[in-house]
Structures are given as C-alpha cells and as structure tokens.
Amino acid sequence: AKYDAYERRGLLSHAKREVMMHELFPYEADFLIIGGGIVGSSVAWWLKQRLRDEDLSVVVVENDDTFKRSSTILAAGGIRQQFSIPENVEMSMFTAEFLRNAGEHLQILDNDPPDVNVLPMGYLFLASTEEGAETMKKNWRMQTGLGAKVALLNKEELKLRFPFMNFDDVVMGSFGLENEGAIDPWQLLSAIREKNITLGVQYIKGDVEGFMFTKPHGFQESHGFVDDEEADDANYRMRRMSGVYVRPQMTDASPRPIRAYTIVNAAGPWAGKVAAMAGIGKGKGLLSIPLPVEPRKRYVYVVHVPDGPAIDMPFLIDPSGVYCRQEDVGHTYICGSSPTMEEDGLIDHSNLDVDYDYFYEKIWPVLAKRIPAFEKLKVKSAWAGYYDYNTFDQNAFIGPHLVYDNFFQVNGFSGHGLQHAIAAGRGLMERFYDGAYTSINMRKFDMRRLVKNAKLEEDGIV
C-alpha cells in the first residue's frame, strides 16, 4: 500500500480533464486489453504493478461474465518445465517461482494471502522408440542447462520408481523433480483479478464489435496519378488503430467507443476472430495474413480408481498423447488426450458437449494398459474446454502486429496459457515500458514467423 498512487505521484500523472473519464463505462484508456482470463489479467497486473498510478488507465474487456466458456477456468491446471523450446522452459520456471510466492505478490493490504492450491507433481514423459529417446536426451540437456530439475530414467529405473506402471514398450522416461505440478485455475484467476481491481484496473462486461482507426494524414486518394484500387490500398495500410467499439452486456445497449493508446488481443480461443474485425487477414500485403488462432475443444474426464496409486502418481504423459494426474491426494484422477490431426478433424468444436465414447475408445484402453489398476476405474464427471489453438505451429504469438504497431498479440498458447501467462504478461510490460524484453527474450514468438513461414514447433513434447 505504501506504493499506492494516493501516497505518491508517478511519471504519467496528470489531472483528469473530462467528466466522461469518471464514468462506469470508460471513454478512453491508456491500455485496453481484450480478454479477462489469466492471460489478459496477467498483462493488466504487470502494467499496474510496475507503475502504480491512478492516472494510468488499464481497461479489460471481457464478454463471458459467467466464465462458463473460459479457457482458464476449464483448464487441467498443469505446470511443467519440460519443453524443447528454451523460452518455454524459462517462462515455466518463472511461473513456478511466481506461484511459490503468489501469496506475497497477490496479497491485498492486510488480508490473508491468497492460496492458489499448488499440488507438487512431477511430469513423466515416456519415449517408446530409440529416436524418441534421443530427442528426450537432447531436450533434457537443454532443460537442465537452463536450471530445470529433470531426471532421465531408463526402463529399470522407471520400474523401481513407479512399480504400479507397465513399461514393457518404453525405452526411456523424463521426470520432473521440482517446479512441476498442478494448481487451481479459478483460485489463481480470482486472486489476480481481485488484486487488479485494488490497483485500479477496470473490468467491463461487453463484446468487442469493431475497431476505430485514425485517418491517414497528408494522403490524397486519387488525382489522376494512381488508380482508385491502389489509393484505397494505401489508405488502408496507413491507418492507425485508435480504439474499439464495445457493446455492453445490458439490455438494448448499443456499441460505445473506447479510445486507447495501446490495444492487447488476449481473447484466447477467439483471438483470431477479434483480429479479423480489425481487417487482419482481409487486406493486401501483410494485412492478408490472418491470425491463425481458433477454438479447439478438449475433453477432461474425472475418474475414481479405488486401487490406484495414492501418493506416488506422477503427471503421466503417455507416448500416445493420453495424460493423467491426481486431482488431489487420494484416488481421484483427471485425464484426457491430445488428439491426432485426424481425430481433431472429427470433433465438433462448435459446442462444449462431452463425448464419453471418446474416453472409452481412446483413453481408457491406454490407461488400463499403462496402469493395470485403471481397469477398474469409474467415470465420475467430465467437462470440455477450448484451447486457443495456433494452427500454424501450436505456440504463442507475443508482440506487436505486423502492420499496427500499437495492436499487441498475446494468444495462441495451444494449451500452455495457464503456465505461461504470468511470464508473457511481464514480457509485454517490458516491451511497453522499456522498449525491449529485459528478462526472457520472447522475440522468437513474434508474428514475423508467419511471413517467413518459420514454424516454432515443439520436438518430442506433447
């Protein structure tokens, strides 16, 4: 509280000039963030944490006020360090350190520190081929070189450590020793949102329906030297994004403008749709390149296994893509699968209905073979959630758009959003305030890789 704006004046302090700036529905903002999930809320938290000034206006627009389709709330909640891209490893390590001290970071004045319910649990990746084992070794060298605590285990070591599993078809395993596990996504999101509100972040319920652009200065469309099509194209490219039109979630409300200096697209699965509203993917040149992020449905099943391992169960990642972890210390587990491209094409992504046949046909046989005790499991419940799936290379877009330098992207995590949101939010804050990434270099996640057709794909990691 001693750093609060009421105690001091910041670098961006200025007197409020307009009555409309005091309205419940803002007229303008320094930073406008589209999406109030863990990614958008993390960006807002870092912006206000770095500069705690009441006159620095940060507005978050969210359209799902019940969170019934929120990717954050419906996530499995896993956090791991085992990636093949160094920046992903660094972001996960930072997230683990942040969560270890989340009570201090997110405490509100003299209230009790929030608890995000961290359940320590090492990830266990399995390789079933010699080629997969070599990839696992290469990833292990990189991960441990960055400071991650990961152990490589051969078949005999796996049998000694996890005697309740079947490793007949396994060549090698990679097991996380520290900084891996699961958290309660709702608890984390609630703690960050509540902290943001005390810092002055304004959350508004509404739907973004369009973008505002400034008119180009000094440009004449046609005087006989250029044709109308060329003039219109130049006019389109010279525009600058200046705000959004938001329809409030209230009866018979019309869209209202909110002017903003910087706009952040953290809309998760709907980030591609939001970008299309700005003409991205519908113009010429760089504006003809769409943002390849779309919602992809993933199932999560809750099962009870009376004879299952009670305390030694890792966060299992089977070579088939099936995963399983404990929900808490006991005999309740959650499981799911990363579908193949063929399986993904057969899933109806237009709704969040759960397909129980998918569990009995694709997941249960794999689990029963890997852990014999799972032959007697009983399905207790299930749900489905959306990934903000990057169809290009399944990794995040972090940074400014190719044309609109004040329209920043932080989306496309493809299932890694919960564990990388904190670090991505800090990275954007550094870009805004310092002009560069000063902690983890995230330039690799820039949208320019779309132009270069340089995919940033994980190797040997689900």
Asked, for residue 369, whether it belongs to a domain, the answer is yes
Distance CA 189, CA 102 (A): 12
**pLDDT digits over 107-150, tens only?**
998 889 998 888 999 999 999 999 999 999 999 999 999 999 99
Distance CA 78, CA 76 (A): 6
Same domain, 277 and 310: no
Same domain, 92 and 186: yes
Q: What is the pLDDT of residue 330?
A: 79
Same domain, 38 and 110: yes
Q: Is the pLDDT of residue 384 over 80?
A: yes
Same domain, 251 and 308: no
Region 394-412: what's the mean pLDDT?
A: 95
Tell me the C-alpha to C-alpha distance, in Å, between residue 313 and each of 154, 162, 184, 317, 371. 18, 8, 18, 12, 10
Asked, for residue 11, whether it belongs to a domain, the answer is no
Strand order in the sheet with 119-120: 78-79, 181-182, 119-120
Q: Is the pLDDT of residue 460 over 90?
A: no
Query: Quick one: pLDDT band at residue 457, thresholds 50, 70, 90?
Result: very high
β-bridge partners, 324: 316, 335
Same domain, 207 and 107: yes
Asked, for residue 151, whether it belongs to a domain, the answer is yes
Same domain, 107 and 205: yes
CATH code where residue 235 lies:
3.50.50.60
**pLDDT digits over 166-218, tens only?**
999 999 999 999 999 999 999 999 999 999 999 999 999 999 999 999 865 55
> Cβ–Cβ contacts within 10 Å for residue 423, how many?
24
Region 436-441: what's the mean pLDDT?
A: 95
- Based on its alpha-carbon atoms, the radius of gyration of the chain, rounded to whole angstroms, reads 24
Same domain, 39 and 112: yes
Q: Is the pLDDT of residue 462 over 80?
A: no
Amino acid, single-letter form, for residue 390 = N
Q: What is the pLDDT of residue 192?
A: 96
Query: Quick one: pLDDT band at residue 233, thresholds 50, 70, 90?
Result: low
CATH code where residue 307 lies:
3.30.9.10
| Residue after which a domain boundary falls, among 363, 387, 411 | 387
In the chain, how long is the greatest CA-to-CA distance?
82
Asked, for residue 12, whether it belongs to a domain, the answer is no
| Residue after which a domain boundary falls, among 365, 387, 409 | 387
Asked, for residue 278, whether it belongs to a domain, the answer is yes
Region 425-446: what's the mean pLDDT?
A: 95
Amino acid, single-letter form, for residue 139 = N
| Residue after which a domain boundary falls, among 370, 387, 404 | 387
Measure the CA dihedral 300/304/310/312, to 10°: -30
Report how many domains make up the chain: 2
Same domain, 268 and 187: yes
Q: Is the pLDDT of residue 244 over 80?
A: yes
Same domain, 2 and 32: yes
Asked, for residue 347, whether it belongs to a domain, the answer is yes
Region 249-277: what's the mean pLDDT?
A: 92
Q: Is the pLDDT of residue 222 over 50?
A: no
Number of residues that this document lists for the chain: 462
Asked, for residue 417, whether it belongs to a domain, the answer is yes
Distance CA 440, CA 419 (A): 15
Q: Is the pLDDT of residue 231 over 50?
A: no
Distance CA 458, CA 123 (A): 16
Same domain, 224 and 114: yes
Domain span at residue 138?
A: 120-180+295-387
Lookup: tokens for 413: 């995590």
Query: Quick one: pLDDT band at residue 326, thresholds 50, 70, 90?
Result: very high
Asked, for residue 13, whether it belongs to a domain, the answer is no
**pLDDT digits over 88-97, tens only?**
999 999 999 9
Task: Return all residues near 36 (Cβ < 8 A) that are at least 6 apart.
Answer: 60, 61, 62, 193, 203
Q: What is the pLDDT of residue 94?
A: 97
User: What does the mean pLDDT of the chain come to?
Assistant: 88
**pLDDT digits over 34-84, tens only?**
999 999 999 999 999 998 888 899 999 998 767 788 889 999 899 999 999
Q: Is 38 helix (H, G, I), strand (E, B) or coil?
A: helix
Q: Is the pLDDT of residue 372 over 80?
A: yes
**pLDDT digits over 9-40, tens only?**
444 444 445 544 445 788 899 999 999 999 99
Same domain, 356 and 237: no
Same domain, 52 and 133: no
Tell me the C-alpha to C-alpha distance, in Å, between residue 271 and each of 202, 246, 262, 397. 21, 16, 16, 10
